[in-house]
Amino acid sequence: MRLISKAYFGVMMLFAAQPALALSCVLSDPIRTFQHASEAEEAYMVVHGKLVFDEAKLPQTDWEHQEATPENTDIPARITGKSLTLKGFKAKFDRKITLNAQCYGPWCGSAATGVEYLAFLEKTATGYILSVNPCGGFGFANPTEKTLKAVVECVQGKPCEAEPY
């Protein structure tokens, strides 16, 4: 019994010696994101479509050298689908975009290629940007019909209240 106690104590001391790190954030929600985009100074386009890019270019945290984790990684991408109009997701959209994977310290945003996204694309002078971060960001994978309908209702001026994604 004494050996188990010493081993348990040793394991506990090992964990106690490590810094307690955590990321605290409110996860993104499509309706809150719609509200943010509609109130922002920047221009946004809302698109529902398939996102394609090289996943190997996503940032990877080197836990031995966390300080080397880039704050922003821009990845060429394409999204093909429909953009939001007052009548719903009706306008054809097929464009090259930039996927901006943001990192907060060692924690990085991510996305998956070949997946349907509800994307809030920032329109810039050089093109469209989809930003993702460890708290979610502006892209929502595999949105439900309920979520898509709620976003359409927001653009139509109907009640637009955030619910958990």
pLDDT band at 56 (very low <50, low <70, confident <90, very high): very high
For position 142, what pLDDT does the model report?
A: 97
For residues 112 and 7, give the distance between their C-alpha atoms in angstroms, rounded to a whole number.
41
For position 2, what pLDDT does the model report?
A: 40
Strands (E), the chain: 43-53, 72-85, 88-104, 107-108, 115-124, 127-133, 136-137, 139-141
pLDDT of 77 over the 80 cut? yes
pLDDT digits (tens, 9 = 90+) for 96-105: 999 999 998 8
For position 64, what pLDDT does the model report?
A: 79
CB proximity list for 7: less than 8 A, separation 6 or greater: none
pLDDT of 76 over the 80 cut? yes
For position 12, what pLDDT does the model report?
A: 39
Residue type, 49: G
* CA angle (77, 78, 82) in 5-degree steps: 145
pLDDT band at 68 (very low <50, low <70, confident <90, very high): confident
Q: DSSP label at 66?
A: G
Q: What crossing angle do the helices spanning 30-39 and 145-155 adopt, rounded to 10°? A: 20
CA distances from 3 to 8, 9, 86, 148 (A): 9, 10, 70, 58
In this prediction the pTM is: 0.81
What sign has the CA pseudo-torsion 87, 141, 161, 107? negative
pLDDT of 164 over the 60 cut? no
**Third-level CATH fold of 26-155:** OB fold (Dihydrolipoamide Acetyltransferase, E2P) (2.40.50)
pLDDT digits (tens, 9 = 90+) for 7-54: 433 433 333 344 445 556 766 789 999 999 999 999 999 999 999 999
Collapsing DSSP states into helix, strand and coil, what is residue 56? helix
For residues 140 and 165, give the distance between their C-alpha atoms in angstroms, rounded to a whole number.
9
> Which ranges in the chain belong to alpha helices (H)?
2-16, 30-39, 145-155
For position 161, what pLDDT does the model report?
A: 82
Phi then psi dihedrals of residue 72, to 5 deg: -135, 135
Parse the chain into domains and list their residue ranges: 26-155
For position 70, what pLDDT does the model report?
A: 86
